Structure 1
Amino acid sequence: MGGREARLPSRSGRVYAVAVTLPRLPQPRLRALVGEALRGDADLDAFCADHFPDVYRRFSDGMQRVRKVTLLLDHADPGRLTELLLGLTSGGGASPALDPQAPAAAGGRIKVLFLGANPRSTTQLGLGREVRQIEDKLRAAAHRDAVTFTSRWAARPDDLQQALLEERPHVLHFSGHGTQGDRLAFEDEAGEIAFVDKGALADLIAILKDNLQVVVLNACSSEPLAEALTQHVACAVGMHQPIGDLAATEFAASFYRALGFGRTVDEAFRLGCSALRLHQIPEHQIPRLKVKAGVDAASLRLVAPA
């Protein structure tokens, strides 16, 4: 099988006292808690004006709520923010959003966005087979109704931004070619290579990380990109070195099957690597899981029964 490394062509709220030790929450949990405690735009504005005036001064007329929430999460002290939000949401008990092991969408759905790119001048990959295997394993999962899987093909750099704006996924998955220069090979209008580098990808995710918790870069030598993305998302998977098409497909299918059975991100990652060993594919040490500071991937579940 061909590897997934690009072959380049020649050319105002109330404050409550909280007498408990609060967990350090990953940003997606804090975002969910903001939504629960501050349902209206006026509530959000008043809360920030009262408690985080430095954040409030960053707001501008016409700014979208999602941008305001991002500013709050990026610039407010997370401990104080958690305490204040807990006071607004608790009626004697903690909000489910404060449980680090709570699923991202308990009783609801999460969305996985798959982007595939295989420029004409690169080694052709079995991306269709990868999608079929992922879909087959999700259909057989215990919580299959909790996962929406959507795919986009021949992805161009602008398609990445468009898809994130439209879909607001919880998991972003890219399958295609990567390079040792920390770039992913998307396609241009003619189907040739259009590179997206580490900085551009990280900048985009920083802006459009609304629901995003996990990014999977199923491409050769993508570990440095995954590492960079953990500045903005809870977890990211990248490849330590070139990986074969078969290994990439088996890893991805087993990873998503585990998520569909309600396993943690750490368990899903390890089961993906285990699948390679079970199939005697000698690349089980190539996938690498990167985790944001303060996040426990062994406690992070994306889906669970209602």
Structure 2
Amino acid sequence: MTTVAPDTGVGPLLRGWRERRRLSQLELALRAGSSARHISFVETGRSRPSEEMVLRLAEQLDVPVRDRNALLLAAGYAPRFARTPLDDPAMDSLRAGVEQLLRGYEPYPALVVDGTYSVVAANRGIAMLMEGLPEHLLTPPLNAMRITLHPEGLAPRIRNLREWRGHLLAQMERQIALVRSKELRELYEEVAAYPLAVSSAAGVAAEETADGGAGGADAPYASFALPLRIEHDGRVLSFVSSISTFNTPMDVTVAELAIETLLPADPATVEYLRSLTP
């Protein structure tokens, strides 16, 4: 048995992840095929886990790939997961596949973001929604949350801004609970402090009066999911959002990518978008 100092090494890190996931040592041991006694010894530094055990515990604790490298280093092992820049030639096939996917989804909007919601790629449907935004929001690197919630961004065009803003902030809160990211926390604090856009707030109030409440029985959009209702060229388009990630990624960059597609939520939106197709 190898002894590790109790205030350093992998033990405290694993204990922190276990507590964040609200698991007991016994629950984690059962999931990982170990014993509560061994988990206790690892967390207190009385035992150094094998590389395989570190990865197994990280898997059961749903530790992000980036932080699995940190666990391995803390345990005295080499990092297992590379972090390859997207412009690296090794990523050529990935980029080509993503770009083909985005083009194939047109005329409907779709984009790819990284772990801090920076826009990695987007199709013409997204470009259409961003028409007329100020240059300072469109200067790279673009950030999807900032563009959506900024009072000079898409926010004034979103008819159900209060609901959509609440959905996005809750999404960010869930992600912050899963990962330890200073950048993500700072972004959340920034966008959460944005005021509601005046025109959207008025639009929401008018809709709630006309429809008998947001999302009421007469609401003119699909009720199976919260829609994004956004103004464009004098029309109100309605979308529902779907987010996809890569399965079992072995690279930090790939693990943090997410593909968001906006599916038309009513026939009028479908008809309008198809009318824009050459």
Range into which the TM-score falls when normalised by the shorter chain: under 0.3
Larger strand share, 1 or 2? 1
| TM-score, with length taken from structure 1 | 0.23
Which structure ranks higher in relative contact order (CA pairs < 8 Å, sequence separation ≥ 6)?
Answer: 1
| TM-score, with length taken from structure 2 | 0.24
